Chain A
Amino acid sequence: MEVFLTTLKSVIDSLGATVVLPIIIFVMGLIMGAKPGKAFRAGITIGIAFIGINLVIGLMWGTLSNVAQAMVTNWNIQRDIVDVGWPSAAAIAFGTDVGLWVIPIAILVNIILLVFKVTKTLNIDVWNYWHFAFLGGMVYMVTGNLTYGLIGAAVASALALFLADWTAKAVQSFYNLPGISIPHLTTAPGVPFAIVTNWILDRIPGVKDWKVDPESIQKKLGVFGEPIILGLVIGLVLGALGYYNAESAAVMILQTGINLAAVMLLLPRMVQILMEGLIPVSEAAREFMKKRASDREIYIGLDSAILIGHPAAISSSLLLVPIAILLSIILPGNRVILFADLAVIPFVVALFAPLMKGNIFRMMVAGILELGVGFYIATAMSPLFTKAAQNAGFAMPEGASNITSIADGFLWPQVFFTKLAEWLGVAGIVIAAAVLAVVWFMYSKNSSAWEVAAGAPAENK
């Protein structure tokens, strides 16, 4: 296996992700039964998307690296880890050696777990398999062993199914989405933070009754939901801090502002192209899996994007954007400069809502907790993140800043897996898989109590 993979890897490395991914997507589309013409077009589209993302990352990286360096000189603020955002993280994850295999692996894991009735979730959200590739890619980076990385991705896909099963009842009742679950590794890791926050706040007299009105938040802070304005303002502020004493300061500051505004609009557009290319494969995968899934009750696993429109998710994220920027400045030891993933905060908070009954104040507190911890995780993990980007063939200038993103550089399952694999090698992966199996077993023995703990209505017992 390893020899085969190594040979294949050297071929792949010399061609680069922009050539290899189209071929892989084309072949995978054919295998799963897409029409040849469609599969071909899909492959080419994905290659184009990668080139587009690479161009935009280059613009963002250059702009942010330069201004970060200037800020260090001026203010001695060490914020040299650039948040390149989940669109970049997803492209990186699919572009790593693990990413090339993640779709068939995750489908296989899902079908096996369904057949043996371990999970109820059929994860048709092929797009978000990138999270598994990301985690597997990290494991590959620390162990140097591609097989371990692939196993890591498989365990990650199982973890997503577990989290989806566990939170399904809560999601279905709070968001009114019968038959749906959310196997999304950016959203579900937040549930423990929500549980802890609730436990603490319930014990503080007075505070436990605090509430915030969603309508007024959306009216007053709506600007934080507009990426291009946000990008412009952040660019201008960073530019002012970095270049106020530079030659032709005004030009530099204004250029930083417009560059970052451009990134905020262009990066998601590039990812739309990537999505478009993945559609034929994800549709074929969906049909492929549905045919093989049994007839008993299953949940359809979807992207947490379907939750994000809820007023509780929108309002608490709008509050969290300025708070997160503030945290990135004041937290001692943090080196992350938040930028592209400010738009991803709704994903982080979406699963707090059922547990907190949509209480925006509480969601905000839990968000501060999760992001606060996240800054340190991201600071520690950024060298690996950067290495993964290089593995995926993204152009990194020598000596440039390291990179991270809230999804998934800020999250605990990713660091938990990677560190275990780093310390213990293959034993670490086995331990991670064993922990997951034990937790899953405990859940299956007492599922209704677990589901209530995640925010499902208690009367369902």
Chain B
Amino acid sequence: MNTPKRILVACGTAIATSTVVAKAIEEALKEKGIAVTTRQCKATEVRSLADNADLIVTTTPVPNDLDVPVIKTLAFLTGIGKEEVIEEIIKKLEGK
């Protein structure tokens, strides 16, 4: 239970938007006392990296037949609805 949950953060390049999202998730969950590790990847790499993740958060379309729950959101980029998405992330992580 104490091992940090692993979140895979995907975007087009694994550089730009996924960095923003990964840092935002880490910060928000840390405030709530939940330890997570994030890993950034490109949309093309999601399939091969999904096995090592508890949750995938993405800003761009990814395959929808994965065994891992996927949250597709722009909330961390636009700032709109960010709280709701964080709640959703926590719910999905605890559901595992």
Residues of A within 8 A of B (CB): 87, 124-125, 127-128, 177, 180, 218, 222, 225-226, 268, 271-272, 275-276, 279, 282-283, 286-287, 290, 300, 302-311, 314, 343, 346-347
Contact B11 A309 (CB under 8 A): yes
* Given A305-B60, A307-B60, A127:B16 Cβ within 8 A: yes
Partner of B13, one of A177, A305, A311: A305
Within 8 A of A (CB), among B12-30: 12-20, 23
B50 → chain A closest CB, angstroms: 14
Q: Interface residue count for B (Cβ, 8 Å)?
A: 27
B3 sits at the interface (CB 8 A): no
List residues of chain A with CB within 8 A of the CB of B58. Answer: 309
B94 → chain A closest CB, angstroms: 27
Main secondary structure of the interface of A (DSSP, over half): helix
List residues of chain B with CB within 8 A of the CB of A304. Answer: 12
List residues of chain A with CB within 8 A of the CB of B20. Answer: 275, 279, 282
Main secondary structure of the interface of B (DSSP, over half): mixed
Closest to A270 in B: B15
Contact A308 B60 (CB under 8 A): yes
Contact B11 A306 (CB under 8 A): yes
Contact B19 A272 (CB under 8 A): yes
Closest to A350 in B: B12
List residues of chain A with CB within 8 A of the CB of B35. Answer: none
List residues of chain A with CB within 8 A of the CB of B89. Answer: none
B93 sits at the interface (CB 8 A): no
11 further contact pairs, Cβ within 8 A, besides A271-B15, A276-B19, A309-B58: A180-B74, A302-B17, A303-B16, A304-B12, A306-B11, A306-B17, A307-B12, A308-B42, A309-B10, A309-B11, A310-B61
A-B contact pairs, 16 of them (CB 8 A): A87-B15, A124-B77, A177-B74, A180-B78, A226-B44, A276-B23, A279-B23, A300-B78, A302-B17, A303-B12, A305-B59, A305-B60, A309-B11, A311-B61, A314-B43, A347-B12
B79 sits at the interface (CB 8 A): yes
Contact A308 B77 (CB under 8 A): no
> How far is A311 from B44 in the complex, measured between Cα atoms in Å?
9
List residues of chain A with CB within 8 A of the CB of B19. Answer: 272, 275-276, 279
B8 sits at the interface (CB 8 A): no
> How far is A314 from B63 in the complex, measured between Cα atoms in Å?
12
Most interface-central of A125, A128, A300, A306 (chain B CB within 10 A):
A306
> How far is A124 from B17 in the complex, measured between Cα atoms in Å?
12
B55 sits at the interface (CB 8 A): no
Contact B13 A308 (CB under 8 A): yes
